[in-house]
Amino acid sequence: MAKTGKPRGTLRQKLGHAAIMAFFGAMWLVPYRLRNRWVGACLRGVLGRLLGYRKRVMDNLDLIYPDMPQDQKLKIADQVLDNAGRTFTENMFPAQFHAQNPEIKLHGAGLEAVLKAHKDGRPIMFYSGHFGNHEAFRAALFKHGIKVGGMVRRMANPFLMCNISVCSTSMGAVAQSLRQTDTARWPC
C-alpha cells in the first residue's frame, strides 16, 4: 500500500478533523467507561442529529422495514447511534480498549483449526457480521499473537482516515481499502 505522506483534503475536511480530534483530546480527561457512555449518548442525541447520522439510520430502516412503526424505528436508531458512539470511542483509545479485557480467552467452534492454520503459517479468511465493536475480534486474536488484516471502506475524510488506520494498526490490524484505486492514495 503506497503512502503519500500528508493526507490531501478540503479545508472543510481539515476543520472537521480538527474538531473531532479536539473533542477526543478533551475526552482524555474523562474516565474510560464514562467516556464511552457519554459519547454514545451524544451520538444518540443532538450530535447524531447534527451530523446527519440519525437521518441515515432512519432512511435505512424505512427502506428495510417500511411497515415498522415509527416509534420502534426510533428505538433501533437510538441503539445504533449509541453503539456507534461507543465503538468509535473504543477505537480512538486502543490501549485503554485492550486494557479492559487483559485476559481475554478465545473460544468457539473452529478455534482449533484457526490455531493450527496460524501455527502452520497458512492464511485464514474470516467473514464477519458483528454487533458491537468490529475491532474486538481482531484485538482478541492479536492478544494471542495472531495478526489479522481487514478490508475497509475508505472514509470520506482523509485526515480522519489517518487516525483510524493508526488506531486499527495498534489493535493488530493491517487494513486494505476495498477499492483498488484507493490503495495508491491511502493518506497515511
User: What is the reported pLDDT for 37?
Assistant: 94
- Residue 99: which pLDDT band, with cuts at 50, 70 and 90? confident
User: What is the reported pLDDT for 148?
Assistant: 77
Chain centre to alpha carbon of residue 76: 19
Q: Which of 29-43, 99-113, 114-128, 147-161 has the highest mean pLDDT?
A: 29-43
Per-residue pLDDT reduced to its tens digit, 73-96: 999 999 999 999 998 888 888 888
Q: Which residue has the higher pLDDT, 176 or 73?
A: 73
pLDDT higher than threshold 60 for residue 182: no
User: What is the reported pLDDT for 164?
Assistant: 66
- Annotated domain spans of the chain: 11-183
- Give dist(CA 92, CA 158) in Å, integer: 16
pLDDT higher than threshold 90 for residue 141: no
Compute the C-alpha angle 93/182/17, nearest 5°.
40
| Beta carbons of 67 and 59 less than 8 angstroms apart | no
Find the mean pLDDT for residues 26-36: 92
Per-residue pLDDT reduced to its tens digit, 34-43: 999 999 999 9
**Residues found in the chain:** 188
Per DSSP, the residues of 71-91 read: HHHHHHHHHHHHHHHHHHHHH
- Decide: helix, strand or coil at residue 149: strand
pTM: 0.74
